Amino acid sequence: MALNEFQRAAYKVMGGTVIRSMNLTKLEDDLRKARLGVRAEAYVSHGLLLAIITGLFGLVMGLGLWFVVLPLAFPGAPPFLAVVVLIVPLLMGGTTYAVMVGTPSGKAKQRAKDIDMRLPYALNYIAAMASAGVNMDVVFKSLAEQKIYGEVAKESEWIYRDMAYFGRDAVTAMKRAIRRTPSDKFAEFLQGAITTLTSGGDLQHYFTSKAQRYMWENRQDQKQFVDMMGLMAETYVTACVAGPLFLIVMMAIMGMIGGQGPAQLYLVIYLLLPVANAGFAFALKNMTPEV
């Protein structure tokens, strides 16, 4: 992937410092597995420069808050609030860098999840192709063209590229794919295919048996997911329906008896309930696999 002007400028300014002072082995591995197409030195340089710029912007915000907003809104603001001027830029710069550095790992995990979900079905396709006596390069080429298999198709595209355009044999291409794939299942499948191919085994039987095994594991994962959804439903009813309803009734009764205002009741209705429902919605969104 070609670097844009900002990334090239960041690498020129900070690339040497980054290369000398940081261990980027893990980040390099995450970038390769996420298929971001950029070297770790350039990526970290981009993140550091972006964090510095964000920190300077936060410093300007902090100074504006201290010298403009606070004197107008709170003329007698205590001096210790000046620490905000330092905390705001540090938080903004640190958060920017942490997000940048953590992004490749997150994308690699998303790719691994997609590969694991689609691999059983892709293996059925591979087994059908192998049963027709199709060569390995044609098998991976055909699989790469089936976009329905998502990231598995992209991994196959890279394997076919190594074989067709770089002249590598099937074993070498699959070994390279093992090193760059984020999915342990896909790496295990390729390693088994290499062993079967080099030992003269029956690839069709291997592909079929692997497809059956991964389909069984997929059914088990789906069963566990359904059980987890049942548990989440029970928890939601208890925590966000029955529990708050009981709490609201009790607080209303206690407020009438004690002559207190409805402030606490408003806090439960307008803050606690929306936050709890949003939390459950976010958790369900992250737990639900894409179809």
CB 152, CB 210: distance < 8 Å: no
Is residue 38 within 8 A of residue 10, CB to CB? The reply is no
Specify the pTM: 0.74
Q: What is the pLDDT of residue 63?
A: 75
Q: What is the pLDDT of residue 64?
A: 75
Domain ranges of the chain: 5-107, 113-217, 221-287
pLDDT tens per residue, range 95-118: 888 998 899 999 999 999 899 889
Whether 219 contacts 207, CB under 8 Å: no
Q: Percent of the chain, pLDDT > 70?
A: 89
What pLDDT, in 10s, does the model give residues 235-283?
888 888 888 888 888 887 777 776 665 677 777 788 888 888 888 888 8
CA 63 and chain centroid, separation? 35
Residue 232, classed as helix, strand or coil, is helix
